[in-house]
Structure 1
């Protein structure tokens, strides 16, 4: 399975939440904008290998699972292009 990194630009996010309907790991944060929570999806068991961190105002998350297509759909649905998804290895 591919390892991939999601970058969510908090300053760009408008809180439209189109991403939430495509990938349930995207959730509303206390500030009214999107964030990433690997435990938010009750159907999916997080493996503990996930990494979610804040870097310079961006949420950066790394996953190694079979949900890359869902994450890409969430990024594509974002009308302000606040989400970037990159494969970073196998």
Structure 2
């Protein structure tokens, strides 16, 4: 499995939500913009190894699973490049 970090810049997000259709862990937040919720996917159970922090307009999530391709597709679909995905070493 791959450990990877996902960064979502809330200020850059414009609420088009193209990411939501590629990775169901991206959801609409109370502010009408995207955020990340590991428990939002009805098909896959969150493992409990995920971390999500929100600070200064940035959502940073770390995952250790085999779904990095879905997340990369969500980032590629974002028309304002608000999402970055990078693999991290253990």
TM (norm. structure 2) is 0.97
1:56: how far off? 2.3
* Cα-to-partner distance string for 1:39-70 (whole Å, 9 max, x where unaligned): 00010010100000013210000000010000
Q: Does 1:69 align with 2:37?
A: no
Structure 1 consecutive aligned stretches of length 4 or more whose deviation exceeds 4 Å: none
Match of 2:9 in 1: 9
Aligned residues: 90
Q: Tell me the distance in 2 between the aligned counterparts of 1:88 and 1:10.
A: 22
1:31: how far off? 0.2
1:77: how far off? 0.1
TM (norm. structure 1) is 0.97
Match of 1:45 in 2: 45
Long gaps (5+) in structure 1: none
Q: Tell me the distance in 2 between the aligned counterparts of 1:2 and 1:37.
A: 19
